[in-house]
């Protein structure tokens, strides 16, 4: 039986008593015997398992080390980094909702210089591959960051085309296919590492944007970012968030995210990082079956900072019980005629 959920609808602890016993072992030791069960491929990147942090929800993983052994995660994704420091949006920035949360942080960060000097070395020391999420208000910003982080030798880049809390919520780079293609082409020309385009769900047809990112040379897609939402204080006659609107995340958006991952899988041949409301191994496996090659855990980490490591363990148990592997499960729910359970061709 699952533990009682919080007000956001996210269970506090998902591991069974048996699985908690395994937590006493180092995560790397637990993963050593199940490499073939959990491993996944993101273009040239081979990951020990498909579970990673979602940008903006886990910092650079530094605080998370106090709660769990993060060394065996599939990857760590940084909070968005910009060319110069950004102060973010005015308060109030976060509102809990019945099945998730609204946030309006506004990409607050200390800028690329600080990240490269202070944060990146500490992030690398945790162990998993490092994916740096980059953001900006112009294509030139993205290019400058791609050049610097490629030179620094990060494992991959995630281009934040889709944050709803900047640019006045206009989402210019992720709602116009032409701008998406141009931005990704310029970034790919500058980058020497794999580049993933993070897409917005706040569009009429996400497949159109995904195809544009693929045409621009993207190595993969992250789907999805948050949905635009709002909270109102009717007694005071005003919006609760300081900037009125924010990004909705958590279990409430999971069905939307699953549908969009499935649609993107039919539209492009790129690796997909699926995210949106994942709070358990069952959730993560649904995303893999829908077509994701790996998953990102975000809002659930606010409730339980050790959630990602629990999901890795739970996923292993579920797959072993089902007699299948991550690579066999990917894309099982497919309209393209692929037979569920058959492993994808080796790269």
Q: Which of 228, 283, 279 is nearest to 261 (CA)?
A: 283
| DSSP secondary structure letters along 220-237 | EEEE--PEEEE-EETTTT
What is the value of pTM for the model shown? 0.88
Q: Write out the chain's pLDDT in tens, 347 residues.
A: 344 455 556 654 333 333 433 444 455 555 454 678 999 999 999 999 999 999 999 999 999 999 999 999 999 999 999 999 999 999 999 999 999 999 999 999 999 999 999 999 999 999 999 999 999 989 999 999 999 999 999 999 999 997 654 454 455 788 999 999 999 999 999 999 999 999 999 999 999 999 999 999 999 999 999 999 999 999 999 999 999 999 999 999 999 999 999 999 999 999 999 999 999 999 999 999 999 999 999 999 999 999 999 999 999 999 999 999 999 999 999 744 443 443 444 44
Write out the DSSP string of 157-200.
Answer: EEEE---TTSGGG--HHHH-HHHHHHHHHHHHHH-SS-EEEEPP
Domains, the chain, in order of start with CATH, read 17-329 (3.20.20.70)
Cite the DSSP H helix spans in the chain: 17-22, 27-32, 35-38, 112-114, 120-126, 139-151, 172-175, 177-190, 206-215, 254-267, 281-290, 300-303, 307-322, 326-329
pLDDT at position 14: 34
Q: Which residues are catalytic?
A: 163
């Amino acid at each position: 039986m699952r533990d009682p959920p919080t007000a956001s609808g996210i269970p506090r602890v998902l591991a069974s008593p048996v699985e908690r016993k395994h937590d006493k072992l180092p995560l790397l030791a637990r993963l050593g015997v199940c490499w073939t069960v959990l491993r996944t491929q993101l273009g040239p990147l081979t990951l020990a398992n498909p579970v990673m942090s979602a940008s903006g929800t886990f910092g650079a993983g530094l605080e998370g080390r106090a709660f769990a052994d993060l060394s065996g995660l599939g990857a760590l994704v940084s909070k968005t980094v910009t060319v110069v420091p950004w102060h973010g949006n005015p308060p109030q920035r976060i509102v809990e909702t019945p099945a998730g949360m609204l946030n309006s942080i506004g990409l607050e960060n200390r800028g690329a210089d600080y990240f490269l000097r202070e944060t990146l070395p500490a992030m690398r020391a945790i162990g998993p591959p490092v994916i740096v999420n980059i953001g900006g208000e112009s294509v030139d910003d993205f290019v400058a960051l791609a050049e610097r982080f490629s030179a620094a030798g990060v494992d991959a880049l995630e281009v934040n085309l889709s944050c709803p809390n900047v640019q006045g919520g206009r989402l210019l780079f992720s709602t116009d296919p032409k701008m998406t293609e141009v931005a990704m082409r310029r970034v790919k020309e500058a980058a020497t590492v794999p580049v993933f385009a993070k897409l917005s769900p706040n569009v009429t047809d996400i497949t159109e944007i995904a195809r544009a990112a693929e045409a621009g040379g993207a190595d993969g897609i992250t789907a999805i970012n948050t949905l635009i939402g709002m909270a109102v204080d009717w007694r005071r006659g005003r919006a609760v968030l300081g900037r009125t609107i924010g990004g909705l995340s958590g279990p409430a958006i999971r069905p939307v995210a699953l549908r969009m991952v499935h649609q993107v899988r039919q539209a492009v041949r790129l690796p997909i990082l699926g995210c949106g409301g994942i709070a358990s191994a069952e959730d993560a496996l649904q995303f893999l079956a829908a077509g994701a090659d790996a998953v990102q855990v975000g809002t659930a980490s606010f409730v339980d900072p050790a959630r990602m490591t629990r999901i890795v363990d739970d996923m292993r148990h579920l797959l072993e019980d089902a007699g299948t592997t991550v690579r066999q499960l990917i894309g099982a729910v497919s309209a393209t005629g692929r037979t569920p359970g058959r492993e994808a061709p080796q790269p």
